[in-house]
Amino acid sequence: MVCFNSNKVVLSVFAMYLLVACDFNKKEIDKEAIAKAYIHGLNASNYDQVVGLFLDSVRFNEMDYRRTFSKQGYRDLFQWDSVFRPKYAILEIKGKDNELHLKVSKKCDRILFLQNKPFVTHEVMKIEEGKIQSIDVVEYLDFNDDLWVRNREQLVNWVSEHHPELDGFIYNQTKVGAQNFTKAMELYGNRNNVAAEQENSSK
């Protein structure tokens, strides 16, 4: 005769439920941890940490603009961005299946020069096998396109006239290009002081 103990059955089912729930929560926490590790790596300018989080290639899709790099090929762009001393922050994070929807703020010397405040985007991070498969910028949430374009054109035109040795900096997405970009912003920012000094010296 089989002895049936309902209390033991209930306890066993409850224990199984807890194990499944904990495993599910762990997966959710792991995805958020990947996103936070990625942002930390960017802020620390830690190339190895950032590329180590990607599945294979480094894929960035910005609206209709798609870019895919090998992990080694991404180094130039990473170094370019790092020169501007970027600071990223996750403002919101929501998980959905194998995706994370992120609201990300980014500020750096270049962005603050071009639009005077941080740049905010809605990004979708797709995760496979515990790694980042791709990052898609799907919406600009705080981007002043008119101001950005106006400031960029003024900078490029002034540099072209006064410091032609730096011409082309706007298109050079390497470490040297970023250094030239930084130098161009510094010169442009000090243009009035230089002009005043030249005027005083000519008197």
Q: Characterize 99-135 residue by residue with b for buried, 16 or more Cβ atoms within 10 angstroms of its Cβ, and e for exposed.
A: bbebbbbbbbbbbebbbeebbbbbbbbbbeeeebbbb
Give me the percent of the chain exceeding a pLDDT of 70: 80
Predicted confidence band of residue 97 (pLDDT cuts 50, 70, 90):
confident
Mean of pLDDT values over 42-58:
96
Look at the domain 8-143 and name its fold.
Nuclear Transport Factor 2; Chain: A, (3.10.450)
Mean of pLDDT values over 162-185:
96
- Residue at 64: amino acid letter: D
87 contacts 106 by C-beta, under 8 angstroms: yes
Q: How far apart are CA 203 and CA 201, in angstroms?
A: 6
Predicted confidence band of residue 200 (pLDDT cuts 50, 70, 90):
low
For residue 96, the model assigns a pLDDT of: 83
Residues of the chain with CATH 3.10.450.50: 8-143
For the stretch 74-93, pLDDT in tens is 999 999 999 999 999 999 99
